Chain A
Amino acid sequence: MADGSPRALAWRQLCDGVRAYRLIAVMGIRSQLTYRVSFAVTAFGNFAATAFDFVTILLMFTQVDALGGFSLPEVAFLYGTSATAFGLCDLVMGSVDRVGARVRDGTLDVLLLRPAPVLAQVAADRFSLRRVGRVVQGGAVLGYALGAADIDWDVARVVLVPVMLVCGGLIFAAVFVAGAAFQFWAQDAAEVQSAFTYGGTALLQYPPGLFAKDLVRGVVFVVPLAFVNWLPALYVLGRPLPLGMPDWVGFLAPAVGAACCAVAGLAWRKGVRAYRSTGS
């Protein structure tokens, strides 16, 4: 019965992680739904806070008809894909950026003692269902964009939209985990992560043509956020890709997502191994 091969071991670990995550998250959801009014208010607050990014875009479009040559529905498509992918990731993994606070106050030790993967515990820690507000807001704008944008639909494009959301979520999740791993060394640096996560989703809401070439190169080749939506979304919209890249690059999103997760996993493992308890 017991299969000792490394692959089976990794699989079992993954199952353990998912199970632990589910248990902790369900517990969190039940406790949050006890205070229904508070839940409704904070979920709406989350919805409204995200909506502001789109309000900024709407305010800009009260002054102009197109931004960087993109119409409002096209920018809304970029916004919707970026915000929904980020929202999904934030819902599932958003809690990991509190790992620095746990290192500082010493409560990470408790997690290390429990017979469940630490990453799953940290990610599910105080699982906040109210973050659904972000997904709903991004999804609503995406729905509007899909209806209003002039897209030349074919099979590849239809498949690419949901693939984009899932892979985008994975890429953002990798950034969250890598950032959390970094906090093992620099506990107060949680905000650096915000630059890549919240900053990343803000960047991807606008057409790449607006930004300096070096910035675009950075998010293609260094922190590959461009694969969250820019490259696949520009293909869907029938627009040329930045930096003269060929059309098919957008289809690399799943491979890039998987590679990012692998790198983030390694970084996390290194972080946990380097952890020294404060002893308090």
Chain B
Amino acid sequence: MRLYVLVATGSLRRYATYRVATVAGLFTNIVFGLIIAYTYVALWHLRPHLGGYTLPQAVTYVWIGQGLLAATAIMGGGFEDELAERIRTGDIAIDLYRPADLQLWWLAQDLGRALYQVAARGVVPLFAGAFFFDLALPVNPLVWAAFLLAVLLGLVVSFAIRYLVALAAFWLLDGKGAAQVAGLAATFWSGMLLPLNAFPGLLGEIARALPWSSMLQLPADVLLGTRGGWGTLGAYAFQAGWAAALLALGRLLQAAATRRVVVQGG
């Protein structure tokens, strides 16, 4: 356990080194937040209560999304490129004989990065949003605590998906195509384009049942309080269920892949 905490803190400090990049990323988050928020204002103006959100809730959703974009690595930017590259070059052989579990190692690494980005990239967009718009943020600290737990579970689901994608490099060798497809899928199904509540009909039903809804839609709903107390527990169960299933799938795939590692190891 101590080992994985060390890996996570090491990763956190590694990402914390690039301060200018963090500030630049925040600037971009704020600009995109502004653009998207204005389009939502126009949309909710015509369709008040679309997807069960009031206008302030819809605008708050935008800024939650910008705040979580880096941490959830929805559009990429997490550990997956690094792992895929190690698989491609064969360095993965070294990782496999380390006295540590491969999946837990990368989970710790990715959570370290994500926790830094929740702190460094999550707070400022919310303040910026509150500066320009009327937001629907809760004052109850318990709601914020519940939100952070939902974010954490969402981060684990996000990791589990990207771990599967990175392992695909064992078969594809060049992992770029898989990473790109995964990024596109996450962008669409996470609700980064439009809240999944506002998706029409069957498409919305499907979107809300898929694991990507754990990353942004469910944490946002917990913070906005649209699901009620029991709904929050339901959200946790949904996220934890997907996390367990996807992590288990990752283990199976890892077992199958490591039997192939001789191919690259020479």
B42 an interface residue at 8 Å Cβ cutoff? yes
Check A67–B43 contact: CB distance below 8 A.
Answer: yes
- Could you tell me if B20 and A67 are in contact, using CB atoms closer than 8 angstroms? no
Q: A127-170 vs B: 1/0 string, CB under 8 Å?
A: 00000000000000000000000000000000000000000000
Q: Are B184 and A186 in contact (CB under 8 A)?
A: no
* In-complex Cβ contact of A41 among B28, B32, B36, B177 (8 A): B177
* A222 contacts chain B at the CB level, 8 A cutoff: no
| Contact-size category for B | 35 or more
User: Contact string, B18-42, partner A, CB cutoff 8 A, digits 1/0?
Assistant: 1011011101101110111011011
CB distance from A5 to the nearest CB of B (A): 42
If A49-B184, A192-B28, A194-B28 touch, does A59 touch B198 (CB 8 Å cutoff)?
A: yes
Q: Is the CB of B200 within 8 A of A45?
A: no
Task: Please report the C-alpha to C-alpha distance between residue A191 and residue B18 in the assembled complex, in whole angstroms.
Answer: 12
**What distance in Å separates the Cβ of B247 from its nearest Cβ neighbour in chain A?**
27
Docked Cα-Cα span, A56 to B40, in Å, equals 11
Cα–Cα, bound, A210→B34 (Å) = 11
Of the listed residues B32, B38, B42, B43, the one surrounded by the most CB atoms of chain A closer than 10 A to its CB is: B42
Tell me, yes or no, whether A31 is within 8 Å of chain B by CB. Answer: no
Task: Give me the 7 closest cross-chain CB pairs, A-B, nearest first.
Answer: A195-B31, A191-B24, A188-B21, A188-B20, A45-B180, A195-B28, A189-B24
* Residues on the A chain within 8 Å of B20, using CB: 186-189
A172, B177: Cα distance in complex, Å = 27
Q: Quick check: A210 and B21 within 8 Å, CB to CB?
A: no
Nearest CB of chain A from residue B207's CB, rounded to whole Å: 11
Q: How far is the CA of A147 from the CA of B35 in the complex (A)?
A: 28
Closest to B187 in A: A52
Interchain CB contact under 8 A, B200 and A62: yes
Contact (Cβ within 8 A) B35 A68: no
B window 156-197: CB within 8 A of A: 174, 176-177, 180-181, 183-184, 187-188, 193-194
Evaluate contact between A48 and B31: CB separation under 8 angstroms: no
Q: Give the interface segment out of A12-20, A79-87, A115-123, A199-207.
A: A199-207
- Residue B46 at the chain A interface, CB threshold 8 Å: yes
Is A195's CB under 8 angstroms from B193's CB? no
Query: Is there an interface contact between B35 and A202, defined as CB atoms closer than 8 Å?
Result: yes
The answer for the CA separation of A41 and B176 in the assembled complex, in Å, is 10
13 new A-B contacts at CB < 8 Å, known A210-B39, A215-B38: A45-B180, A49-B184, A52-B193, A56-B193, A60-B39, A62-B200, A63-B43, A63-B198, A64-B43, A64-B47, A67-B43, A187-B20, A202-B32
Q: Which residue of A lies closest to B23 (CB)?
A: A189
Say if the beta carbon of A275 comes within 8 Å of chain B: no
Shortest C-beta distance, B74 to chain A (Å), equals: 12
Beta-carbon contact of A191 and B193 below 8 Å:
no
Q: How many angstroms from the CA of A52 to the CA of B75 in the assembled complex?
A: 12
Given the interface pairs A59-B198, A188-B21, A191-B24, the reply to whether A210 lies near B32 with Cβ below 8 Å is: no
**Complex contact A199–B28 (CB within 8 A):** yes
Q: Whole-angstrom distance from the CB of B218 to the nearest CB of chain A?
A: 19
Residue of A nearest to B34 (CB): A215
A96 to chain B, nearest CB (A): 16
Q: Which chain A residues border B261 with CB–CB below 8 Å?
A: none
Question: Does A220 sit within 8 A of B, measured CB to CB?
Answer: no
B105 sits at the interface (CB 8 A): no
**Contact of B194 (CB < 8 Å), options: A42, A49, A56, A190:** A56
Interface string of B109-145 (1 = CB under 8 A from A): 0000000000000000000000010000000000000
Interface residue? A212 (CB, 8 A): yes
Q: Which residues of B contact A203 (CB under 8 A)?
A: 35
Q: Is the CB of B41 within 8 A of A60?
A: no
How far is A41 from B179 in the complex, measured between Cα atoms in Å? 12
- Give the distance in Å from the alpha carbon of A255 to the alpha carbon of B98 in the complex: 62
| 14 A–B contacts, CB within 8 A, in A order | A41-B177, A42-B177, A49-B180, A56-B193, A59-B198, A186-B20, A186-B24, A188-B20, A189-B23, A195-B31, A199-B31, A202-B32, A206-B42, A211-B35
Q: For residue A278, which residues in chain B have a CB less than 8 angstroms away from its CB?
A: none
State the Cβ distance, A31 to closest chain B Cβ, in Å: 14
- Choose among A38, A68, A190, A211 the residue that contacts B177 (Cβ–Cβ < 8 A): A38
Contact call B42/A45, Cβ cutoff below 8 A: no
Is residue A55 contacting chain B, with contact meaning CB distance below 8 A? yes
CA distance A62 to B132 in the complex (A): 28
Q: Are B184 and A48 in contact (CB under 8 A)?
A: yes
**Which A residues are in CB contact (< 8 Å) with B180?**
41-42, 45, 49
Q: With a CB–CB cut-off of 8 A, which chain B residues contact A212?
A: 38, 132
**Whole-angstrom distance between the Cβ of B51 and the nearest chain A Cβ:** 9
Hey, which chain A residues are within 8 Å of B25, CB to CB?
A: 191
Instruction: Find chain B residues with CB under 8 A from A195 CB.
Output: 27-28, 30-32
- A64–B176 Cα distance when bound, in Å, is 37
A192 cross-chain contacts in B, Cβ below 8 A: 24, 27-28
Interface status of B253 (Cβ within 8 A of chain A) = no
Interface centre among A56, A60, A62 (most CB of B within 10 A): A60
- Contact between B32 and A199 (Cβ–Cβ < 8 Å)? yes
